[in-house]
Structure 1
Amino acid sequence: MTPPQQSLSSGPLIPPSGPVSPQQQHQNQGMFHQANDFTVMGTFIEGNVIHNNVTSNQFMKEFLEKTIPGAQFDSSERDPPPRCHPTTRLAILDRCLSFIRNCDGKQKIRWVVGAAGVGKSAVMQSVVESPELPVSCHASVFFSINGRNDATKAIATISYQFAVKSEVYRQVIENEISRDPSLLQSSMEKQFNKLIVEPFIHEPQLDSAGRVLIIIDGLDECNHPRIQLNLLRHICNLCIKYPSSPLVWLIASRPETHITSFFARAEITPIYEKVDIPVDSDEGRADVEWFLRDEFTEMKKVIDSLDPQWPKEQDLRKLANASGGLFAYAQTVIRYIGYSTTGSPTLQFSDVLNVIDNHPMTDVPREDHPMASLDALYARILSNVPSRIMINTRKLLLVLASGWNSVLPQPRPLFTEANFIVLCNWLGMTADEAYAALNHLRSVLRVPGRDKAHKQILESFHKSFIDYVSDFTRSGFSPHIKREAQRLKNQCAFRILKEAPDGIDFFGAGYSMRYCTINPGPGTGDKIALSWPVVDGYIGWDNCKTRLNVYKLAIGEVITGIKRGDQTFQNEFCIRLLTTGLEVYDMGFPFRALCDLLFDESRRDGFMMHGILKQMPLKAVNTSIIFDVVKLHFRRPATGAVTNVPHPQNSSCDHEWDSEWQEGKDQDSKTTFVWELQFVNPEDGMSEWTYQFWCRRSPEEHRMYRSTV
C-alpha cells in the first residue's frame, strides 16, 4: 500500500503521553525527574528487580513536594490560624468531639456547614487542637483560595501527614510508590485507594490502631466543583463499603448547591451527620459579643490613651447585633478600629456605627441577606481609598480575584516564588506605590511587611472580601471582573515578553513551572525592567529570581491564552515560543488547542512561510525520534467519492470522525497512531487522503535539534 507523500511537522511539540513499548519504558526511567514527575522515590527498575538507593528521609522530602503547602492545621502559612475564641462555640465543639468519639458503622462523616464568615475554619481548628480529641492519629487539609486550593494534591497531603506520624504506614506507602513511581500523578481514585483505603483497611496494624480522624476544611474553596464532588464520592464509598473502617471524617463547607445536592442523595444520607452553624442565631450573637468585649479590653491595654469606659454599652451591643453571628464581620471591625494607620480607634468606631445606622436591617430577614452588614462594611472600607491611588488599588484587587499566581509554585514555609515582590514587579508597581494603594485595606488584606515581601504573598484575611469584590451586584466594583483582570494580565505578559524576546538564562538549567519546563536562553533576560528591585537585606532572594518568575507568569499567560482560544495569543511569536522555547511539557499543557491552531487551513500557509511548520517528504521523516504518539488528520474529499470507501484505519488507530460522510461535503477525521504506522490506500482509484502529523522529541534530541539550526 502506498502512503501519502507529504507531512507537516510543527517541530519539537510534545503531545500527551500514550502507550509505549517496553523498550521505550525502560529508556524513559531516567526521565521522570527531568519531566517534573514525582521521582522514582529512590528506586530504579532493571528488569523485574527493584533497587532502593536512597534513605527514607529523601523519600519524605520528595513526598512533601507533592503536597499542598501550608494546608495542615499547624502550618506556619496559617500562623496564627483561625480558632474559636475562648468560651465561644462550646456547644458546636462538644457535639463534634462527641461524634468523633461515638460514631459507629457507616456513619463516619460529620458535615459542618454554614455561610461565609460564621467561623467554620475556627471550629475545625479548635477540634483538631482539642486536648480531648479521642483519636490515635489525625491529618488535615485546610483549603483556601489563598494558594491552598489544589485538590489534586489533597490525598497526598493527607497521606504525607500519616507517613510522618506512623512508621508502619510510611513503610506501606513507600513500598507502594516504589513499585509505581507514577502513583502521585495518577487519578484521585487510584491515589485514594492506594494511599487511604488499602493501608487502613488491609493492613492489620493500621486497621486496629483505633479511631483515625481526617479533617477537610473549606471544601468549597478547592479548585473545581467536579473535583470537590469526586473527593466526597470516594470518602462516602469507603464509609459504605467498609463500615468497620477506623477512619472518621470531619468536613466543613459552605452550603453550595452542588455539595448540598450530593449530601441529599438517598444512598448518602445514612452515612453522615450534619451540623449547621446558622447565621444570626442567639448562640452566634452571644459568642460574637463575647469576642468583641475581649478584643476591646485588649485594645485598651495596648492603647492607654483610650477611655476605660469606651466603648459605650449600647454601642457595643449595636455592633454585636449588626454582626449577626458572623465572626468575619467582628474580626474585620476589630482590625479596622484597632489596627488602622489612618485614624484613631474612637473615630474608626464611630465610622462603623454610622455604616450600621445608614444600613438598617429592620424587617429584612437575615437569612435572605446574610452578608448585608458585612457588605456595607466592605463598601465603607473601599470608599476610604483616595481616588488618586485607586488605579493601583484596583490592579491589586483584580489580580487577587483572578488567581494571578496559579502557574508558580505555591507558598512554602520559608520561601515562595509567588511573593509580594514578584506581584508588584509583574504589575510594574514600585514598593511605595503598592503600600500606598493598600494602606486603607489593611483590615481586609494581609499585607507583607517590606522585610518579608520576598517570602510572603498578599492575601485576604477572609474569602468573603474577594467574593464581595468579585460580585458586581454586591460591590459595583467591575461588571466584568474576569475580563478586566485578563486584560490587565495580558498587558503585563506582553510587556515582559517584549523585554525578553529571546528567553531567559539566569542559572543555566530548565525552569520548572506549571504545564512545562522553560528552556534557558539564548537571551539572558537581564533586560526585564524591575519596578521594585531587590537591594541588600533579602536572604535567599535576588533580582534574577524576580525576573525569572515574572517571565514564568508571562509564559503561563501565553499557555492559558492558547488553551482558552484567546486570539491575542494566536500569533507567530507566541506559537514559536511554545513550540521551541519549552523543554518539557507537563500534564495540562493545551496540546490539542495548539495543534488545532497550527494545522488550521486558514493559517497553515502563513505558519509555513514563517518556518513554524515545515513540509517534507514522508521518507525524510526519521520515525526513531517519535516518542510515543503520531497524530494524523485525514480528509475524505467532498466530490468524486464513492460509497463504501474503506477507512484508513487499523487495530492500533482510534478515529474521531466529525460527522457522517455525505456527498458534496468534506469529512474530517483525527486519529492517533501508537508506534506502528500503517496506511490504507483507498481502492476506488479516486479518493485521496491527506494527513498531518506532529511528534515528540526527547529533551536530548531537542537540544541536538536546536544546536544544528
Structure 2
Amino acid sequence: MPKGSLHIPRFLRFGRSRPPKLSTRTLYLQNTHESKNVSVQGEGNYVNYNANSSNKFMAELLEKTIPGAAFDSSARDPPPRCHPGTRLAILARCLEFIANAVDEQKIRWVVGAAGVGKSAIMQNVADSCLPSESLGASIFFSINGRNEGNKAIVTLAFQLAAKCEPYRQFIEREIARNPSLFQSSLSVQFKKFITEPFIHDPLLHSIGRILIIIDGLDECDQLHTQRELLQLISGHCSTYPSSPIIWMIASRPEPHITYFFAQDHVKAVYEKEEILVDSDEARDDVERFLRNELARIQKEFSLGSRSQWPPEQDLWKLADASGGLFVFADTVIKYIGDPVVGNPTSQLNDVLKVIDTHPLPNVPKEQHPMARLDMLYAQILSKVPEKTMVNTRKILLSMIRGIDWGWSTESRNFLVLCNWLGMTCDDAYAAVRHLLSVLDAPPRDQAHLAELRSFHKSFIDYISDFTRSGVFSDIEHSRFNVPFEFSSRLLMALILVIWVMVFVARIQEL
C-alpha cells in the first residue's frame, strides 16, 4: 500500500448491500429498466412489472428532488476532496464508525468552523462508501441553489429507488395510493419513505447497511427545517435501534445545531467528530497540501527545477498564515497557480504582502488574492440581522483594536468586553450568534474566564480592510468613538457615585 494512503476495509471499498436470501415467494427484481414488460410468477404470486411505467415514475420523482445535491452530481464536479495523504485519521474514524455502528448510536456529527474542509471529508467518505452499485444516498446542501430542505426526504428516496428495485416498488405503491405525499410534511415523508420501508418491510429491513450522508446542514434554507430533520433522524435512531441506516451529518457549529446535539435525549444516538482549526494534525495536513501543490506549480510553470521554489522561508510563512484552515491554503494555491495570469512568482509576492498586512492599491475586489475566502466571510456576515449589526460592529472593532486600548491580558475576557462596550451579555451573545462559524465565543457561564476570539486571523484581516469587507468605512474614527463612549459612561458613573456619597454624608450630618 502506498505511503500515506488510507486503507479502506473491504466492506467499504465496494459498499454493496447484499440482498437477503429470498424465499420462493419473494419477488426481487434488479436491472429491469431496460426490459419492456416483465412478468414473474411463483407459488401463487403473480406480478406484472412494466418498465415503461417505472421509468415514468422515476422521471416524475426526479423533478421533486434537489437538483445536483448527490455526491456524484455533475453540478458539483469537480467536488472538494481531501488532498492525498491528508485527513487520514479523521477518515479512518468515520469509516470505522460506518462499519461498526450498532444499536441506536448510528449518527456521526462532523462539526467544524467555516473552511476547515468538512465537505471534502464527507466527499471522500461518499467516494469510499457510495459507489454506483451500493445502497445509500447523499445530500450536499449549498446556499448556491442546493438548499431546499423541504425536498430533502424525496431527494434521498429518489437515490435509494434508483439503486434498489424493491424500494422503488415500495414507494411507487405508496405514491400511487396517495399522490399528495409530495406535498406532505417532512415528518409524513420521513415515515412513508424511510421508517416504513426500512423498519416495517421485512425485505428492506434485512437488506444490509445503508449509508445516508447529509453535508452542510446549516446551509439548508430554513432553521426550522434543519431542526426538524435532526429531530426525525435522531428519533428514528432512538426508536428503532435495529434500523439498517447509518447517518453522517456535517455542519458548522451554529447555535441551534449545537444546542440540539447537547440535549440529553440525543446524546445516546450520535458520536461527535470535531474538526479543529488549530490542531497539530490540521496544521501538518495543510503544510503537506501546500508543499505538494507548490511543487506541482513549480513543475507546471517550469520555475527553475535546480533551485527550490518558493524559498523555504516563504513556504513557512504560507503554512504559518494558513494554520489548519484548508480554505485559506486552497485560496492561496488557486491564486498563485492561476493559469490565466501565468506568473506564480508575482502572485506569490501578492499573497505574502497580504499576509504581512501590506495594502494592495488599485487591486479590484474580485482580483484580490483572498477574493475566494472573502466571498465565504461575506456570506457569513450577511446572516447578521440588521437589528443587531450595530452591536456586532462594535464587538468586531474591539477584536481589531482592543489590544491598543491598554487592556491587561488578565482582564481581557468576554464579560469585560461587554462592560467596555456598554452591552448586556444578552446583547453581546445575540450580536455574535450568527458568527459562531468564524468566532469562538465562550459559554455563558465562562464569559468571565475566557475571551472572544477568531478561529483564524484571516477573518480579522478581512473585516479590518474596508475595501474587502465594507464593515468599517473609517476604522480610525470608529476606533476613537468606542473607547470615547466607554470613557463617557465611566465618567458619568463616577459622577453618580460621588453625588451619592456627598448626599449620604449630608444626611448623616443632619
| Paired letter, 2:355 | I
Q: Does structure 1 residue 327 correspond to structure 2 residue 306?
A: no
Supply the distance in 2 between the matched residues of 1:147 and 1:274 (Cα, whole angstroms): 28
Asked whether the equivalents of residues 339 and 443 of structure 1 are also in contact (C-alpha less than 8 Å), the reply is no
Supply the distance in 1 between the matched residues of 2:130 and 2:154 (Cα, whole angstroms): 27
Supply the distance in 1 between the matched residues of 2:283 and 2:248 (Cα, whole angstroms): 25
Deviation at 1:182, TM superposition (A): 1.2
Match in the other structure for 1:185? 183
Match in the other structure for 2:54? 56
Matches within 5 A, 1:304-343: 304-305=302-303, 308-339=307-338, 341-342=340-341
Matches within 5 A, 1:482-631: none
Give the direction of change, closer, same or farther, for the CA distance of 1:383–1:117 in structure 2 (3 Å limit): farther
| Paired letter, 1:467 | I
Give the direction of change, closer, same or farther, for the CA distance of 1:132–1:163 in structure 2 (3 Å limit): closer
Supply the distance in 1 between the matched residues of 2:377 and 2:318 (Cα, whole angstroms): 19
Supply the distance in 2 between the matched residues of 1:468 and 1:81 (Cα, whole angstroms): 25
Deviation at 1:225, TM superposition (A): 1.2
Asked whether the equivalents of residues 139 and 156 of structure 2 are also in contact (C-alpha less than 8 Å), the reply is yes
Match in the other structure for 1:248? 246
Deviation at 1:383, TM superposition (A): 6.7
Deviation at 1:320, TM superposition (A): 1.1
Deviation at 1:340, TM superposition (A): 6.2
Indicate which of 249, 264, 270 corresponds to 2:268: 270
Asked whether the equivalents of residues 110 and 249 of structure 1 are also in contact (C-alpha less than 8 Å), the reply is yes
Counterpart of 1:235 in 2: which secondary structure? helix
Q: Per-residue CA shift, 1:644-695, capped at 9, x if unaligned?
A: xxxxxxxxxxxxxxxxxxxxxxxxxxxxxxxxxxxxxxxxxxxxxxxxxxxx
Asked whether the equivalents of residues 84 and 122 of structure 1 are also in contact (C-alpha less than 8 Å), the reply is yes
Q: Per-residue CA shift, 1:406-462, capped at 9, x if unaligned?
A: xxxxxxxxxxxxxxxxxxxxxxxxxxxxxxxx5x269746xxxxxxxxxxxxxx997
Supply the distance in 2 between the matched residues of 1:348 and 1:468 (Cα, whole angstroms): 27
Give the direction of change, closer, same or farther, for the CA distance of 1:117–1:265 in structure 2 (3 Å limit): same
Match in the other structure for 1:141? 139
Supply the distance in 1 between the matched residues of 2:137 and 2:229 (Cα, whole angstroms): 16
Matches within 5 A, 1:374-523: 384-385=363-364, 440=367, 444=371, 463-464=376-377, 466-467=379-380, 474=463, 476=466, 477-478=469-470
| Paired letter, 2:142 | S
Match in the other structure for 2:356? 357
Counterpart of 1:55 in 2: which secondary structure? helix
Deviation at 1:63, TM superposition (A): 0.6
Supply the distance in 2 between the matched residues of 1:147 and 1:203 (Cα, whole angstroms): 35
Counterpart of 2:108 in 1: which secondary structure? strand
Deviation at 1:155, TM superposition (A): 0.6
Indicate which of 294, 298, 301 corresponds to 2:299: 301
Q: Per-residue CA shift, 1:484-526, capped at 9, x if unaligned?
A: xxxxxxxxxxxxxxxxxxxxxxxxxxxxxxxxxxxxxxxxxxx
Counterpart of 2:274 in 1: which secondary structure? strand
Instruction: In structure 1, list runs of 5 or more residues that go unmatched.
Output: 1-51, 360-378, 391-437, 446-459, 481-709
Give the direction of change, closer, same or farther, for the CA distance of 1:151–1:84 in structure 2 (3 Å limit): same
Q: Per-residue CA shift, 1:381-408, capped at 9, x if unaligned?
A: x9720xxxx7xxxxxxxxxxxxxxxxxx
Deviation at 1:336, TM superposition (A): 1.1
Asked whether the equivalents of residues 112 and 118 of structure 2 are also in contact (C-alpha less than 8 Å), the reply is yes
Asked whether the equivalents of residues 214 and 248 of structure 1 are also in contact (C-alpha less than 8 Å), the reply is yes
Asked whether the equivalents of residues 350 and 369 of structure 2 are also in contact (C-alpha less than 8 Å), the reply is no
| Paired letter, 1:142 | F
Give the direction of change, closer, same or farther, for the CA distance of 1:292–1:112 in structure 2 (3 Å limit): same
Give the direction of change, closer, same or farther, for the CA distance of 1:245–1:314 in structure 2 (3 Å limit): same
Matches within 5 A, 1:113-128: 113-128=111-126
Supply the distance in 1 between the matched residues of 2:138 and 2:371 (Cα, whole angstroms): 26
Counterpart of 1:210 in 2: which secondary structure? coil
| Paired letter, 2:338 | Y
Match in the other structure for 1:225? 223
Instruction: In structure 2, list runs of 5 or more residues that go unmatched.
Output: 1-49, 385-392, 397-462, 473-510
Asked whether the equivalents of residues 214 and 247 of structure 1 are also in contact (C-alpha less than 8 Å), the reply is yes
Match in the other structure for 1:43? none
Supply the distance in 1 between the matched residues of 2:88 and 2:374 (Cα, whole angstroms): 24
Asked whether the equivalents of residues 340 and 442 of structure 1 are also in contact (C-alpha less than 8 Å), the reply is no
Single out whichever of 334-343 and 144-153 deviates more from structure 2. 334-343
Asked whether the equivalents of residues 351 and 369 of structure 2 are also in contact (C-alpha less than 8 Å), the reply is no
Q: Per-residue CA shift, 1:307-330, capped at 9, x if unaligned?
A: 651111121122112112111001
Asked whether the equivalents of residues 81 and 120 of structure 2 are also in contact (C-alpha less than 8 Å), the reply is yes
Supply the distance in 1 between the matched residues of 2:155 and 2:338 (Cα, whole angstroms): 35
Supply the distance in 2 between the matched residues of 1:462 and 1:275 (Cα, whole angstroms): 26
Matches within 5 A, 1:15-30: none
Give the direction of change, closer, same or farther, for the CA distance of 1:155–1:132 in structure 2 (3 Å limit): closer
Supply the distance in 2 between the matched residues of 1:54 and 1:479 (Cα, whole angstroms): 58
Q: Per-residue CA shift, 1:183-224, capped at 9, x if unaligned?
A: 111111111111111111111111001111100000001111
Q: Per-residue CA shift, 1:551-601, capped at 9, x if unaligned?
A: xxxxxxxxxxxxxxxxxxxxxxxxxxxxxxxxxxxxxxxxxxxxxxxxxxx
Higher normalized helix content (fraction of residues): 2
Supply the distance in 2 between the matched residues of 1:354 and 1:156 (Cα, whole angstroms): 49
Q: Does structure 1 residue 348 correspond to structure 2 residue 347?
A: yes
| Paired letter, 1:65 | E
Counterpart of 2:232 in 1: which secondary structure? helix
Counterpart of 1:213 in 2: which secondary structure? strand
Match in the other structure for 2:153? 155
Counterpart of 1:274 in 2: which secondary structure? strand
Q: Per-residue CA shift, 1:121-158, capped at 9, x if unaligned?
A: 0000001112699x952100000111111111111111
TM-score of the aligned structures, taking structure 1 as reference length? 0.46
Asked whether the equivalents of residues 117 and 464 of structure 1 are also in contact (C-alpha less than 8 Å), the reply is no
Supply the distance in 1 between the matched residues of 2:129 and 2:213 (Cα, whole angstroms): 16
In the alignment of these two chains, the number of paired residues is 343
Deviation at 1:306, TM superposition (A): 5.1
Q: Percent identical across equivalent pairs?
A: 56
Asked whether the equivalents of residues 444 and 465 of structure 1 are also in contact (C-alpha less than 8 Å), the reply is no
Counterpart of 1:318 in 2: which secondary structure? helix
Give the direction of change, closer, same or farther, for the CA distance of 1:323–1:53 in structure 2 (3 Å limit): closer
TM-score of the aligned structures, taking structure 2 as reference length? 0.63
Moved over 6 A (4+): 469-472
Match in the other structure for 2:425? none
Supply the distance in 1 between the matched residues of 2:51 and 2:57 (Cα, whole angstroms): 10
Match in the other structure for 1:207? 205
Higher RCO (CA-CA < 8 Å; seq separation 6+): 1
Give the direction of change, closer, same or farther, for the CA distance of 1:184–1:321 in structure 2 (3 Å limit): same
Asked whether the equivalents of residues 108 and 249 of structure 1 are also in contact (C-alpha less than 8 Å), the reply is yes
Match in the other structure for 2:195? 197
Give the direction of change, closer, same or farther, for the CA distance of 1:314–1:305 in structure 2 (3 Å limit): closer
Give the direction of change, closer, same or farther, for the CA distance of 1:321–1:442 in structure 2 (3 Å limit): closer
Supply the distance in 2 between the matched residues of 1:157 and 1:257 (Cα, whole angstroms): 26
Give the direction of change, closer, same or farther, for the CA distance of 1:79–1:383 in structure 2 (3 Å limit): farther
Deviation at 1:243, TM superposition (A): 0.5
Deviation at 1:302, TM superposition (A): 1.6
Supply the distance in 2 between the matched residues of 1:63 and 1:442 (Cα, whole angstroms): 43
Deviation at 1:464, TM superposition (A): 4.1
Supply the distance in 2 between the matched residues of 1:315 and 1:341 (Cα, whole angstroms): 23
Give the direction of change, closer, same or farther, for the CA distance of 1:383–1:236 in structure 2 (3 Å limit): farther
Supply the distance in 2 between the matched residues of 1:351 and 1:269 (Cα, whole angstroms): 47
| Paired letter, 1:303 | F
